[in-house]
Amino acid sequence: MAETGAGFPHLFTPLTIRGVTIRNRIMSTGHETAMAGPEGISEQLIAYHRARAAGGCGLIVVEVASVHPTATFVRHSIKLYSDETIPGYRRLAEAVHAEGATLFAQLFHPGREILESIDGSAPVSYAPSAVPNERFHVMPSPMSRELIREVIAGYGDAARRLQTAGVDGCEILCSMGYLLAQFLNPRVNRRSDDYGGSFDNRLRIVRELLADIRAKVGEDMVVGIRISADELSPEGLTPEEVGAICRALDDEPGLDYFNVIAGTSTTLGGSIHIVPPMTVENAYLAPRAAEVKAGVSKLVFVGGRINQPQQAEAILAASQADMCGMTRAMICDPEMPDKARSGRIDDVRACIGCNQACIGHFHMGLPISCIQHPETGREAAYGTRAPAVKRRRVLVAGGGPGGMKAAAVAAERGHAVTLYEAGPRLGGQALLAQLLPGRTEFGGIVTNLERELALAGVEVVTGTVLDRAQVEHEAPDAVIAATGARPRWPEFDGRDEAHVVDAWQVLRDEANVGNSVVIADWRCDWIGLGLAEKLARAGCRVRLCSNGYMAGQTIQQYVRDAWLGTLHSLGVELLPLVRLFGADAETAYFQHTASGQAVLCEGMDTLVLAMGHDSVCDLADALTDWPGALHRIGDCLSPRTAEEAVLEGLKVAAAL
């Protein structure tokens, strides 16, 4: 059925491929969720994709699945080389189709890009040639011709299983340095047989598996490939090489589309583009897609930080691509397509590119979610708002992300909610986080939550500290204490002798920082990295002394790795594995956390503390004997991050 969407005429134009009509041009690209497993598609994964389909997504491409036993790259890889996976895909297809969306599925072999061991022992990885992987330190075994034939047949068999399950299409990963990209790359494929050497020989495996798929599924199933337009790595495929590959494959009658992305799993610099963080420009791959499109006759899809429907509409209007991948946009707001279609653009909860709970969870082996929308991945428990059984009066103290989420959800359920914020505006520590270099977009979490408060009808009182007297005066049924935290100033020798400031003072430009700065970084997160960049850009000599294995140890790896590259460019000195134990006017004294030996930072003007936070519990402490229901959430309960604060806000409000 054709959709409308007054402000988005291109975005809501259907697309028909091989008789399969996709209702609009919004695609959830294939992405790992850690919700499936060797047993196949789980009910959790079905609920996750059903929510995106119900929110109006046109095309859902479900995550990679192994086409052969040698294609297991993480413990929870789906074994699409077994018929046992068919019932799960069938349930997924039925759920997605029932909501009006189209379902494709990715066919995958990682080659040498093996992330995890299955049983603790190092797995054997197989690739075209014995050329090592830099990022995972894997030396693969060259594939025999027999194994190549098995893998080719595995693609065709897997596609047939998908077709049997009712999946509308399949997408072959030639992207991001995985097996087929390894074959295509003359610096990785060093074979001397007819699968290596010449351009046509390197393309042979792709052509043969396309033919095998088509022979096994017939003409009805859509088949596409995903390809990195630029692997952005020293030995990676270049735009010129990829352009030539796409033009050559454009002649393949069995192929329907190219899905353009960038980067490679093989290097730190290349892997950042698998899920680019907020420092990467929105929709940055649209020009790359346009270059591919100029050389081919088939459809071209594109992804890469397309966060807002306006960006997607512009790409489509300019004919840079035929379909836009907006994966995180819908991890963050599953209803984004319907909101755009119905003109509720201001209600879209825009992804901020933080990578914390989506790809960040995946790298921990845990189901993906979203720091702004923790309902993601928890659809069974929190996918719908149960109306309150009894309307209660609720006061929320603290207008950071946790308090805002709690207030919004409680009000959505029908409670009468007032949110008190001591400061002049809402946002809490998110207002500070957005001051870190390259983190301006983090402030979007405040904008989004302010909108949710307004839509839910929360009364907001700023510039007022909620105290016990006010609580007793208002006599609510429940108080949610989300009063946050303040910077921790640990005791150490010489604290009064040295020039010591804290991270918040630096971010607010309240500190008169000297030329030579030492940062004591206990949390190993964004704060230490961001302070180092800010001060280095201001011309300071910066030594970033981290308590962990590396600066940024506790944050999502693509965010950290991009930042480490920036700090290297700026000449920041990194000292890992040190703990602060003292300072004087010119020296900061650390101990190595393993040897206990002294590590001195001499010639220091200013010591900046990024030593974590202490909870602010004044209200909660004052209400310990108050007879109403008292709930503590977020940093007030235990200093952590916005993700936990928002999740706890949701949980508390959902249970009121």
Contacts with ligand SF4 by CB under 6 A lie at 328, 331-332, 351-358, 370-372
Smallest gap from Cβ 41 to ligand SF4, in A, equals: 21
Identify each DSSP E strand in 250-403 by its residue range: 257-261, 299-302, 323-325, 393-397
Residue with smaller CB distance to ligand SF4, 330 or 396:
330
Closest alpha carbon to 529 in 565, 485, 478: 565
Smallest gap from Cβ 23 to ligand SF4, in A, equals: 23
Smallest gap from Cβ 355 to ligand SF4, in A, equals: 5
Residue with smaller CB distance to ligand SF4, 501 or 650:
650
Given a contact cutoff of 8 angstroms between Cβ atoms, the answer to whether 117 and 101 are in contact is no
Residue with smaller CB distance to ligand SF4, 47 or 416:
47
Given a contact cutoff of 8 angstroms between Cβ atoms, the answer to whether 428 and 396 are in contact is no
Distance in angstroms (rounded) separating the CA atoms of residues 37 and 372: 26
Cα angle 293, 295, 297 (rounded to 5 degrees) comes to 70
Residue with smaller CB distance to ligand SF4, 111 or 337:
337
Residue with smaller CB distance to ligand SF4, 50 or 349:
349
Distance in angstroms (rounded) separating the CA atoms of residues 159 and 141: 26
What would the 3-class secondary structure string for 465-477 be?
Answer: CCCHHHHHHHCCC
Smallest gap from Cβ 279 to ligand SF4, in A, equals: 12
Residue with the two structure tokens 């839509």: 455
Q: Torsion angle of alpha carbons 260, 265, 270, 276, nearest 10°?
A: 60
Q: Torsion angle of alpha carbons 383, 385, 386, 387, nearest 10°?
A: -170
Distance of CA 126 to the CA centre of its chain: 28
Residue with smaller CB distance to ligand SF4, 260 or 357:
357
CA distances, 437 to each of 441, 522, 532, 533, 561 (Å):
10, 19, 9, 7, 15
Residue with smaller CB distance to ligand SF4, 353 or 634:
353
Residue with smaller CB distance to ligand SF4, 169 or 377:
377
Residue with smaller CB distance to ligand SF4, 358 or 466:
358
Smallest gap from Cβ 644 to ligand SF4, in A, equals: 13
Smallest gap from Cβ 647 to ligand SF4, in A, equals: 11
Smallest gap from Cβ 275 to ligand SF4, in A, equals: 8
Smallest gap from Cβ 373 to ligand SF4, in A, equals: 7
Residue type at 503 in one-letter notation: A
CB atoms within 10 A of CB 419: 27
Residue with smaller CB distance to ligand SF4, 57 or 466:
57
Smallest gap from Cβ 591 to ligand SF4, in A, equals: 35
Residue with smaller CB distance to ligand SF4, 77 or 355:
355
Smallest gap from Cβ 276 to ligand SF4, in A, equals: 10
Closest alpha carbon to 182 in 239, 243, 258, 127: 127
CB atoms within 10 A of CB 469: 9
Smallest gap from Cβ 335 to ligand SF4, in A, equals: 14
- 607 DSSP β-pair partners: 500, 518
Residue with smaller CB distance to ligand SF4, 52 or 543:
52
Residue with smaller CB distance to ligand SF4, 68 or 560:
560
What would the 3-class secondary structure string for 66-115 be?
Answer: ECCHHHCCCCCCEECCCHHHHHHHHHHHHHHHHCCCEEEEEEECCCCCCC
Residue with smaller CB distance to ligand SF4, 259 or 372:
372
Smallest gap from Cβ 347 to ligand SF4, in A, equals: 16
Phi-psi region of 137 (alpha: psi -120 to 50; beta: other; left: phi over 0): left
Smallest gap from Cβ 180 to ligand SF4, in A, equals: 27
DSSP reduced 3-state for 600: strand
Q: Torsion angle of alpha carbons 86, 92, 98, 101, nearest 10°?
A: -110
What would the 3-class secondary structure string for 285-302 be?
Answer: CHHHHHHHHHHCCCEEEE
Distance in angstroms (rounded) separating the CA atoms of residues 370 and 210: 36
Smallest gap from Cβ 333 to ligand SF4, in A, equals: 9
Residue with smaller CB distance to ligand SF4, 262 or 275:
275
Distance in angstroms (rounded) separating the CA atoms of residues 119 and 44: 24
Distance in angstroms (rounded) separating the CA atoms of residues 167 and 87: 11
Residue with smaller CB distance to ligand SF4, 27 or 159:
27
DSSP reduced 3-state for 31: coil
User: Which tokens hold the place of 386?
Assistant: 């149960």
Identify each DSSP E strand in 526-576 by its residue range: 541-546, 573-575
Smallest gap from Cβ 222 to ligand SF4, in A, equals: 27
Smallest gap from Cβ 368 to ligand SF4, in A, equals: 8
- 397 DSSP β-pair partners: 420, 481
Question: 152-156: which pairs have CB atoms within 8 A and are 24 or more residues apart?
Answer: 152/205, 152/208, 152/209, 152/212, 153/212, 154/67, 154/68, 154/71, 154/81, 154/109, 155/67, 155/107, 155/209, 155/212, 155/213, 156/209, 156/212, 156/213, 156/215, 156/216, 156/217
Pairing mode, if any, of strands 598-601 and 588-592?
antiparallel
